[in-house]
Amino acid sequence: MEKTLILIKPDAISKKLTGIIIDRIEHLGLDMKAAKVAFVSEEIAKEHYANLAGKPFLPSVISFMRGDFNGIKDHRIYAFVYEGENAVSKVRAALGATDPAKAEPWTIRGAFGCFKDGVMQNCVHASGTPEEALREINIWFKPEEVL
């Protein structure tokens, strides 16, 4: 069965949006396989965003993921693995476009995200493909945590 990684980013945590976001994910009919509060080191953030290596905005994306924005300095996020048929595409559809300004208003990013201080504060990360999901789950979870 297909798995996907979901990370609740610091903007959503600081706005107390975790519950409403997970509620929307649960309505997709997927099963929660793993959940944790995760500390975001510089190293893990770089590994997670390896696909953005060389992009000029990577340092700001990493600081943002580490909770270093809006005067907040809490280096923790909430990580989940959800499983189900077409889990990756279902969650991505619920998220909407990467840029909250372009995301449809009924999507999570469209409803709750914003562009602020030069950063897309888009509330949630979700894997883009099933292959990406396997790579990313391996970064954030030990195999025995995701059975």
* 128 part of the interface to Mg ion, by CB under 5 A: yes
Q: Is 125 a catalytic residue?
A: yes
Query: Are 78 and 13 a contacting pair, CB within 8 Å?
Result: yes
Name the strand (E) or helix (H) holding 67.
none
Residue with Cβ nearer ligand IDP (135 or 143): 135
Helices then strands, counting H and E runs in the chain, come out as 7, 8
* Least distance to ligand IDP, CB of residue 9, Å: 8
Distance, CA of 94 to CA of 108 (rounded, Å)? 6
**Residue with the shortest CB distance to ligand IDP:** 98
To the nearest whole angstrom, how small is the minimum distance from the Cβ of residue 61 to ligand IDP? Answer: 4
Residues that bind ligand IDP (CB under 6 A): 52, 57, 61, 98, 120, 122, 125, 128
32, 106, 129, 142: CA torsion to nearest 10:
-30
Fill in the amino acid letter for 136. Answer: E
Could you tell me which stretch among 1-9, 25-33, 59-67, 126-134 binds Mg ion (CB under 5 A)? 126-134
- The pair of structure tokens assigned to 10 is 């610091």
Shortest distance, position 26 Cβ to Mg ion, whole Å: 22
What is the number of the residue whose Cβ is closest to Mg ion?
128
